[in-house]
Every structure is written in C-alpha cells, then in structure tokens.
Structure 1
Amino acid sequence: MVLAAWRRWRERRTLATRPIPDAMWRSTLARYAFLAALPPGDAQRLRDMATLFLAQKEFTGAGGLEVTDDMAVTIAAQACLPVLELGLHWYDSFVTIVLHPDEVVAAREVTDEFGIVHHYEEALVGEALGDGPMMLSWRGVTDAAHTDGPVYNVVIHEFAHVIELRSGDATGIPPLPDAASREHWRRVIEASHLRLVRRIDAGADTVLDPYGAESVSEFFAVACEGFFVAGAALREDDPYLYELLKGFFRQDPAERQAP
C-alpha cells in the first residue's frame, strides 16, 4: 500500500514537472489523423500516459542519429494508444528503445525440418523482443504519417508484439483471462489471417498490410495497425476481427474516426 502511494506521488510529480510542451503535443496530434481524432478527454489521458512513458523509457540513437524530444514524443504518443485503457504496465518488460535512422539489416538463421541451418539477411524497420530492447527505424516511424495504400504503422506494430509476448509466445494471442477466451480469439484471428492470405493470393487490394500474411503473430500486429489507424475501414472489411480487438483494447476507433 505504501509502495502504491509512492508510485502515485511519483507519477503526479512527473506530470507536474515534466509535461510534454503544448506546441509539441499539438503538432504530434496534427501529424497523425488517428491521433487527432481522439476526443479531448482521451487526448489528455494519452498525453499524461505518454509523459509517464517518456519518464520510464530510455531512447538511444544508433547510426549517428540524435534522438530529439519531438521524435521521442512522436513515438510515445503512438505507443501509448493501444494501452490507453489497459495501463502502462503492459510495457514494463523493457526499458530501452533504440532508434535507427533507416532500416537495419539483421543476420538470421533458421533450421529446416531436416536439421539443416540456413543463413540469410532480413531488412527490419522495427523489432520487439519480450524483454527488450525495442528497435525502431525513424524513417519507418515517419512513413506512418502517409495514408496511401494499406495501413502502415511500425510503432503500433512493434508495441502490439510487446502486448502479445506478455502471453509468453508469439502466437497472435495476447494474455486473456481463460481458455474459452483464448479459443475464441484463436478461431477468429486464424480465420481472418486465412482470409487475408487468400485475398493476397487472388491479387485483391487489402486494408491491412500484406506482411500480415507471414504468420498469425504478424497478422495480429498488422491487425492492430489497422484497428487504431483505420478503424472504420477495418470494421467494414472484417467486422469479426474488429469486434475482437475492440473487446480486448476497450476502444472503438471506428466511432471516433467517423466524419
């Protein structure tokens, strides 16, 4: 009880002494339509959460990149949106966020069914490990402000993986209260994933990033991008998936983004 009271005092002190500057916060919201659509009360709660997020996390620039306050706020605002109703403790598993100027080429290896190890390289704009650090590309972050084509948001994508990994595995299923909930989630998300794969194979346009076809885990992260950035489009395209995410995140982006 004493510890909880101390934490509340520390949070109040952080909000009072280290607030995000008004002009910086307004410009952050203005750059991203899905953030600008937040009602004033929700925008203020997001601002407070982003302030606490910045106090808890450490940003490190790589490749000669200098991380500015504006860059950190841009990332914090988007990262906090998925946990606006869940709580900032969902991100307690890591502290460091490494920001690169552009994509990073990572060496990978995979063992096939015959035990043969294959080596390859993969270009990354972001990567989330359960216990950190988080890696992001600043170019990937800024690209999210563009609205042409399928939904793309690397910050929401990687922080969705952080949420997912709290369940222990990258299965596309976040922590849920019971087996029945997990089974319902599995049925809905696997059906939606298969639907995306079939549409891509047929050459059809998709609301969600085709990268979601890679696996159910990547589909979950891509679906979160669509849910928060283009909620109305996702609700029309896949209402079952939308309702699944709406229930978990306790948010209804389609309603607040309505014209």
Structure 2
Amino acid sequence: MFSVFSRWWPRRSPSSPQISADLWDAVWRSLPFLHWMSPTEQALLRERSRELLGLKQINGAAGLVLNDHIRLSIALQAALPILHRGCEAYRNWAEIVVYPGDFIIPRQEVDENGVVHEYEETLLGEAWIEGPVLVAWFEPEDGDRPEGINVLIHEFVHTLDMGNGKVDGVPTLPAEISYKEWQTTFAAAFTDFAQRLEADPGWAEESPLDPYGAENPGEFLAVMSEHFFETPAALARLYPDVYRLLARYFGLDPLGPSSPGASQP
C-alpha cells in the first residue's frame, strides 16, 4: 500500500557499520528465497545492505525492540530492488518504521457532500512520499506467511514507483528500458489480471499471484515484484513479458537464463 502524504525526515550522514560473518550467515539462512544468488551478487547485496544500515534509520514502533538480526534482515530485503541501482534510488526518504505485526492507521475522507468520515485501517505496510516507510515484522515462529508475499519488497518498490512523483506503476527507468515498452507490457498484464479475477472470482483462490495486484497499476507493480523474488516461476509462467522486464529492471534473474521468462539479450 502507498500513501501520497509527504513527510520530511532529516538525512543521516553515511556511516556504514560492519556486518559480522556470523550475523550475515544467520540472516541469509533465514531468507531461503534468495539462495539462487551467485557469490558475486551475494557480496554486492551485503555491501548494499551495509550502506543502507548507515544511511537509513530503522526504528521500532508500538513497543517493538529491534535487534541486529531484524535490522539486517530489513536492510537486506530493502537492498534487493536497488542492488544494481545504488542507494541513491532511495534518496527521497530516510526512515523505516517497524511494527510488531499489522498496525492501525487513522484515516479521514471527505465525501461529495463535504462530510468528513473518520475510520481506522489495518495495514501490513505503507510507503509515504519522502518517508517514512512503515512495515510489519513477523518472527518466523509467528506462523507461515502466504507464498509469494513479502511486505518489505512491496513497500520498497512503492518508493521506487514514487521516484517520478507519482504512484502509477512506472518507476524512474534506466536508459535501456523505454517508457513505451514498460507501459505497454505492464498495462497489458494488469488488464488481463484484473479481467481474469472479475470474470472468475474463484480464480483468485487458484491463482499463484496475489489478487491485491488488481487494485491499481501501482499495486500491480509492487505485487509482481514480490512474486519476482519470492515465486519467480509462477510469475514467469503467467506473465513472462513482465518477468523479463523486471529481470532487466532489477538486473537479476532468479530463474536463470533457461527459464521461460528469462531475459533476452
């Protein structure tokens, strides 16, 4: 989920901490969906995680006390979408706020008659333009999360989507990917996904992709990015063009060059 509310948080001066081998190994073992990465990619991920720990504040909320394992796990997963782009891609925000599970945000809406309606919304994550990024943290013993769901990747991709000032499913693109190619590929897949769900509500239960992606193009990008890292085979099977484009955008290919959705030269 995203929010267009803006909030400024002062930047920290870069001071990247060292990451012990024992801590890195423990966090790495806890994230088996990343074990396809090459040693070179792992080394870069470790360095990028270290940079983020120095550049961004990671603070607990609602009584959650953060330890080094949680901080590194969050920084590592935040580093994934920007592995080859660098921390400058996250320049517009400075803080990650971590809750112990889902959390409640008060809302206000004004209807067409000018009446203000107040309510509360329960969330797993939310990204605001200029920060902070709000995320829920679940310990492994809290129970298995649904396959393909990764609230951290979801919210950090939202911040990339906000890089051009809008949440429209089109992040700031590298020179090798044109706006037309991105928009055409994602618009076709989003339309197909939404139509499938509308035509057959039961497909939502059978689909390996999270139906929340049909909310709007911004959510579609965030959800498909979750699946790109967490369940890449499912994404490549249903939307190979989206998989190929995300592989080019992230500079990563979880399935390898022989996959049906593998990036093309």
Where on the TM-score scale, by shorter chain, does this alignment land: which range?
0.7 to 0.9
Within-5 A mapping of 1:8-19: 14=16, 18-19=17-18
What's the CA shift for 1:116?
5.5
* Range 183-192 or range 125-134, more displaced: 183-192
**Number of the residue aligned with 1:83:** 82
Higher relative CO (Cα under 8 Å, sequence separation at least 6) belongs to 2
Letter of the structure 1 residue corresponding to residue 42 of structure 2: A
Aligned to 1:199: 196
Q: Distance in 2 between matches of 1:38 and 1:28?
A: 15
Alignment of 1:165-244 (within 5 A): 165-176=162-173, 181-201=178-198, 202=200, 203-204=202-203, 205-244=206-245
Where do 5+ consecutive residues of structure 1 fail to align? 1-9
Q: Which blocks of at least 5 consecutive residues in structure 2 are unaligned? A: 1-12, 260-265
Q: CA deviation at 1:39?
A: 1.0
Counterpart position of 2:47:
48
Cα distance between partner residues in 1 of 2:30 and 2:258: 15
- One-letter identity of the residue aligned with 1:166: G
Deviations 1:35-61 (A, max 9, x none): 222111111110011011101111211
Deviations 1:68-98 (A, max 9, x none): 1110001011110111111111112111111
Match of 2:72 in 1: 73
The alpha-carbon deviation at position 34 of structure 1 amounts to 2.2
Q: Residue type of the partner of 2:244?
A: E
Amino acid at match of 2:81: P
Distance 1:211 1:144, change over 3 A: farther
Q: Secondary structure at the match of 2:256?
A: helix
Cα distance, 1:195–1:118 mapped onto 2, change above 3 Å:
farther
Moved more, 123-132 or 242-251: 242-251
Identical pairs, percent: 34
Offset at residue 169 of structure 1 (A): 0.1
Q: What residue is the counterpart of 2:161 in the other structure?
A: 164
From the superposition, tell whether residues 142 and 86 of structure 1 become closer, same or farther in structure 2 (CA, over 3 Å). Answer: farther
Q: Which moved more, 1:90-99 or 1:193-202?
A: 193-202
Q: CA deviation at 1:214?
A: 1.1
Look up the SS of the partner of 1:166 in the other structure. Answer: helix
Q: Which moved more, 1:191-200 or 1:230-239?
A: 191-200
**Which amino acid is the alignment partner of residue 21 of structure 1?**
S
Q: CA deviation at 1:108?
A: 2.0
Does the Cα contact within 8 Å between 1:97 and 1:136 map onto a contact in 2? yes
* Cα shift at 1:144: 11
Give 1:233's aligned amino acid: A
Q: Which amino acid aligns with 2:251?
A: R
Aligned-pair Cα RMSD in Å: 2.7
Aligned residues: 242
1: distance between equivalents of 2:257 and 2:75?
20
**The 10-residue stretch of structure 1 (228-237 or 124-133) with the greater mean CA deviation from structure 2:** 228-237
Cα gap change, 1:86/1:61 in structure 2, threshold over 3 Å: closer, same or farther?
same
Contact 1:207 1:233 survives alignment (8 Å): yes
Q: What is aligned with 2:30?
A: 31
Looking at structure 1, the residues matched to 145 and 97 of structure 2 have their Cα atoms a distance apart, in angstroms, of: 25
1:195 to partner: Cα distance: 2.0
Higher helix share: 1
Q: Is the 8 A contact 1:152 1:225 kept in 2?
A: yes
Q: 1:256 to 1:26 in 2, by over 3 A?
A: farther
Question: Any conservation in 2 of the 1:232–1:255 contact (CA below 8 Å)?
Answer: no
* TM-score, structure 2 as length reference: 0.82
Counterparts of 2:112 and 2:215 in 1: how far apart (Å)?
18
SS of 2:193's equivalent?
A: helix
On the 8 A contact 2:109/2:118 being kept in 1, the answer is: yes
